[in-house]
Structure 1
Amino acid sequence: MLNTLRCLSIVLLAVLASGCASLSPYAVSEGEIERHLQDAVRDYDRKQLQSGSPLSLSLNDADITLGPDGRDVAVIGLKGQVALTVLMAKLPLDISLKLEGAPVYDSAEKAVYLRRLQLLESSVESPFFRGDLKPVTDTVMRVVAQMLETMPIYRLDDSSMAQRMLGMVPMDIRVAPGRLEFVMAD
């Protein structure tokens, strides 16, 4: 009886959440995604360093533009440092990248990832050179693309009842100017 009541209440909450979601989609702003991305990069860098990777990545700035020109893409401007440890010496590089990708919602992970990444602009500066040095830029782009393919730019928060309920129903995302909207899947 208790299990039946519990199942019934979960179904009722899911139906309520889906009804509310269809009327007024849950939206995530560019600022929320920027904060989530910076936290995720910090965690990623810490894990990479703990695993013995010679490459360190830190972000000073992540600027996200959602839905530019009415397109279903996210443009991300990243500024930060990449440091490569070679023979006990750190070689620091200041990087600036502008990438474009399509936000995709993974319902199993309850997270949004960027797919089909394209490099729009790049520059690399170090004490040794400045400009767009293609081999360095290509390497940095591969590292950032690999990171963004495996690390979500946003994840639903299980500690929030509303977001936990969203994760229980079939959802998709829609890119709107300045925000991502979680909507009922077709």
Structure 2
Amino acid sequence: MRIFLFVVTLLLTACSSTQGISVYSFTNSEVESVLNQQLPKLKKEVSLMGLPVDFEVNSLQVNIGPDKREVVVLGFDSNAKINALLFEYPVRLALQIEGSPFYDSSKKAIFLRDIRLLYSSIDAGGFKGNLSLLNGEAMSVINNFLAANPVYKLDTSNPRVALLSKIPLNMKIREGKIELIPSL
């Protein structure tokens, strides 16, 4: 009986000491780092209008919680080569998208959903403009990629993070960072 009371007291103390305290957070630059590691997977998946595309991201920008909104904005500046009829056509693409982050406790990762295209431009063979003709297909590629690849994954090799990941977590979006807080 004493052991049971001791364990309950410890749990209650732990719950009251972590209530409302941010125990784990990550920033724009940490999400950029994870996404840069994921980009080789995107390169394998890209095809536009059924044509194979050699895709390379020149720069990636992440903006968590801009204007105090609960979204993550991703900006890509990239080069692509579309292979058609034995020719390569160089294309420069710039995209900016936003999505709502959510924590998947089973995968211990943050994913984006409700992806929305904010800006797109293309520079190909003298043509400059937006991607309006390709928006649907480009967004399909992006949605498929982000559905399968998290923008951030908890490092469960860290004992503190592994323990934290075993309890229910709430997520708060702040300008420049995401916080995971125990929901006990």
Determine if the TM-score, normalized by the shorter chain, exceeds 0.5.
yes
Distance 1:75 1:47, change over 3 A: closer
Q: Does 1:94 align with 2:95?
A: no
Residue-by-residue CA offset, 1:25-66 (whole Å, 9 max, x unaligned):
3110100001111111123425779xxx92333221111111
Match of 1:3 in 2: none
Report the equivalent of 1:28: 26
Q: Is the 8 A contact 1:113 1:148 kept in 2?
A: yes
Structure 2 CA distance for partners of 1:97 and 1:133, relative to 1, 3 Å: closer
Number of residues paired by the alignment? 172
Stretches (4+) displaced over 6 A: none
State the 1:175 CA deviation. Answer: 0.6
Write the distance in 1 (CA, Å) between the matches of 2:55 and 2:72: 21
> CA RMSD for the aligned pairs?
2.9
Structure 1 unaligned blocks of 5 or more: 1-8
Change (3 A) 1:18 1:131: farther
The 3 A distance-change label for structure 1 pair 97 and 48 is: closer
Tell me how far apart the structure 1 counterparts of residues 159 and 40 of structure 2 sit (CA, whole Å).
26
Distance 1:164 1:42, change over 3 A: same
Percent of aligned pairs with the same amino acid = 28
Q: Helix, strand or coil for the counterpart of 1:158?
A: coil
- CA drift of 1:170 comes to 1.2
The 1:40/1:133 distance shift into structure 2, 3 A limit, reads closer
Classify the secondary structure of the residue corresponding to 1:23.
coil
Query: CA 1:85 to 1:165, structure 2 compared with 1: closer, same or farther past 3 Å?
Result: farther
Contact persistence 1:36–1:153 (CA under 8 A) = yes
Q: 1:133/1:44 Cα in 2 relative to 1: closer, same or farther (>3 Å)? A: closer
Q: Does 1:130 align with 2:133?
A: no
Structure 1 residue matching 2:30: 3-state secondary structure: helix
Structure 1 or 2: more helix by fraction: 1
Query: Could you say what secondary structure the match of 2:122 adopts?
Result: strand
- Deviation of 1:17 after TM superposition, in Å, equals 9.1
Given the superposition, is the C-alpha separation of residues 185 and 20 from structure 1 closer, same or farther in structure 2, using an over 3 Å criterion? Answer: closer
TM-score (structure 2 length as normaliser): 0.79
The one-letter amino acid paired with 2:76 is: L
Residue 178 of structure 2 corresponds to which residue in structure 1? Answer: 180
Q: Tell me what 1:167 maps to.
A: 165
Output the amino acid matched with 1:42. Answer: P
- Structure 1 length as normaliser, TM-score? 0.79
